[in-house]
Amino acid sequence: MKHHLMHPCDLIVMYMKRVYFYGMTTTSGGNISLLDEQRSMWITPAAVDKAKLRAEDIVRVRADGTVTGLHRPSSEFPFHQAIYAARPDVGAVIHAHPSALVAFSIVRERPDTNILAQAADICGQVGFAPYATPGSAELGENIARAFAEGHDSVLLENHGVVCAGRTMEEAYQRFETLDFCARLIIKARMIGPYQVLTPDQIQMFRRHRPELPEFTPEQHTNKEKKLRKFIREIVHRAYDQQIMTSTEGVVSARVGPDAFLITPTGQDRKYLTEEDLVLVSGGQRENGKLPSRSTLLHKRVYERHPETKAICSAQGPSVTAFAVTEGPFDTRTIPESYAMLREAPKFPYGAQFSENDTLAEALSAECPAVLLENDATLVTGGSLLEAYDRLEVAEFTAQSLLNALPLGQLISMGDEQISLLRESHLFRR
C-alpha cells in the first residue's frame, strides 16, 4: 500500500481503526498524529469514537498554532508537540493503552525486546517516562525527555505506551511489535524463566539476507496466479487471527519442481498483495523484489522433500512462549495436536540461518512442525491449507496448555494411546 499517496486524515483514520480493531485501545483511549511537509500536525480529536472515526474528524494544528477542524485536538496534544520538538526526525506518533503494555507500566518494568531479533531491530530498547497527569505539560516533558535520549518506544508509568517513527507505518510497526513482546513475555512467565538473545545472536539475524540473482519471468501461469491469490488470503487470515504480525510471518508454496512463491521481506502482512509475492526459480528471484530472509531454507526443504508443497512460519504469541522458555511443548496431550504436529521438536536459535542441512532434513512428513528457539513455529504440508492448518493447531495447542497450567497437572497420552492414535484415521487423512 502506497501510504505516501494518502491524505494525512485518511492515513490516521486507517491506523487508528487498525489499533482499535486489533484490540489495542478502547473507544475513548489512544491518539495518533503525523506531520506533513509544512510541519503542520494532523491529530485525532478529543472525545470521538475511535471505531467510527472519519477523515473529517481529524484536526489540523499548523506550525503557528492555528487549529482547524470540527473538534478539539486530543487532550494529549501537548506531548505529541513535545516529541516533535525533541526529535526532528520523527514524522508520526502513536499512543494507546494495550492491556499487556499497561500491565508492564503498572509494575514499572519494560518489555525486553531482545526476546526476538525482529523486535530488537524494530523497537530497540524501551524508554520509560515517570507518571504525570494525562494531558499535562509535565507529562509532555517526561515523554519528550525519553525520546530525546534516543528511544523510539516509551512506556508511560501507570498509563500506556508511545511509539514514534519517521512514517506512520514505522510507528505502527513499533507499537504492534512492542505489544506482541509484552504479551509474549507474560505468557512465557506462566511457563517459567524466559531467555533473551545475545548481541551476537541478533547480529546473526541482521547479517542473514539471501543473495540471489534476479530474473524476469516470461509469463505467470494460471497455477501461479491461483497460488498468489491463495497465499495472500492465508497471510491476511493469519494476521487477522493474530498468528502473524505486521512484520513477521512467512508463507511459501511450490509452483514447480524448482520454483516456489514466497512472501517478501519488509512488507506489512495486513496489506500484502498478490503482486508483492516473490517467484523464486532455479535459485533466482523475481526481479525488483526482496524475498523473505528464510528463502534459502525453504529452497533446501523443497529440494529434499518432493512431497512438501508449502511451508509456513509465524510467531503465534502462545506457541512462541514455548520457544523462548525451556518448558516442553507437549503435543501428546491432545490427539489432533499429535496427529497434526507429531513431536514438534525445538531447534536451537541459528539453525534457520545455518547452511547445515539438519533443519531442512528434519522437516519431513514424520516431522512436519518444529519450534525455532526465540524465533517462530515452522510447519510444512502437502498443500498450503494443510501447512496453515498446522500453524493454527500449534497456536491452539499452546493456548490449551497455557490455560491448563492454573488448573492442575498436565497429563499426556501414554505410549499405548499414541500407538493406537498412529493407526487411526487421523494419521491417514
pLDDT for residue 428: 61
155: Cβ–Cβ under 8 A, 6 or more apart, which residues?
101, 104, 105, 110, 111, 126, 127, 128, 129, 161
Alpha-carbon Rg for the chain in angstroms: 23
Q: Which helix (H) or strand (E) holds 365?
A: none
Annotation: CATH topology of 213-427:
L-fuculose-1-phosphate Aldolase (3.40.225)
Closest C-alpha to 290, from 303, 276, 302, 301? 276
Cell of 56: 473529517
Domain 3-191, second-level architecture: 3-Layer(aba) Sandwich (3.40)
- pLDDT at position 135, please? 86
Q: Do the first three CATH levels of 3-191 and 213-427 match, i.e. the same topology? A: yes
C-beta atoms surrounding 334 within 10 Å: 18
164: its cell numbers: 514514534
pLDDT tens, N- to C-terminus, the chain (429 residues): 667 678 999 999 999 999 999 999 999 889 999 999 999 999 999 989 999 999 999 999 998 889 998 999 999 999 999 999 999 999 999 999 999 999 999 999 999 999 999 999 999 999 999 999 998 999 999 999 999 999 999 999 999 999 999 999 999 999 999 999 999 999 999 999 999 999 999 999 988 888 899 999 988 889 999 999 999 999 999 999 999 999 999 999 999 999 999 999 989 999 999 999 999 999 999 999 999 999 999 999 999 999 999 999 999 999 999 999 999 999 999 999 999 999 999 999 999 988 778 999 999 989 999 999 999 999 999 999 999 999 999 999 999 999 999 999 999 999 999 888 888 877 765
User: How many Å apart are CA 52 and CA 174, to the nearest integer?
Assistant: 24
CA–CA dist 298, 40 (Å, integer): 46
Report the C-alpha gap between 310 and 139 in whole angstroms. Answer: 50
**HSE-up (13 A, CA, CB side) for residue 424:** 13
The dihedral region occupied by 101, where left means phi > 0, alpha psi between -120 and 50, and beta the remainder, is alpha
Ordered by start, the domain boundaries in the chain are 3-191, 213-427
Which three cell numbers, joined as nine digits, stand for 6? 494518502
Which residues, 6+ apart, have CB-to-CB distance to 221 below 8 Å? 255
Question: 270, 229, 237, 269: which is closest to 253 by C-alpha?
Answer: 229
How many helical (H) and strand (E) elements, i.e. helices and strands, does the chain have? Answer: 14, 17
pTM metric for this prediction: 0.94
Q: Which residue has the cell 545475545?
A: 198
Round to whole Å and give the CA distance between 360 and 298: 8
Cα–Cα distance, 99 to 103 (Å, whole number): 6
Q: Where are the alpha helices (DSSP H) in 272-345?
A: 295-304, 317-323, 335-341
Structure confidence at residue 422 (pLDDT):
87
Give the position of cell 541459528: 350
User: What contacts 324, CB < 8 A, 6 or more positions away?
Assistant: 115, 116, 184, 188, 194, 195, 196, 373, 374
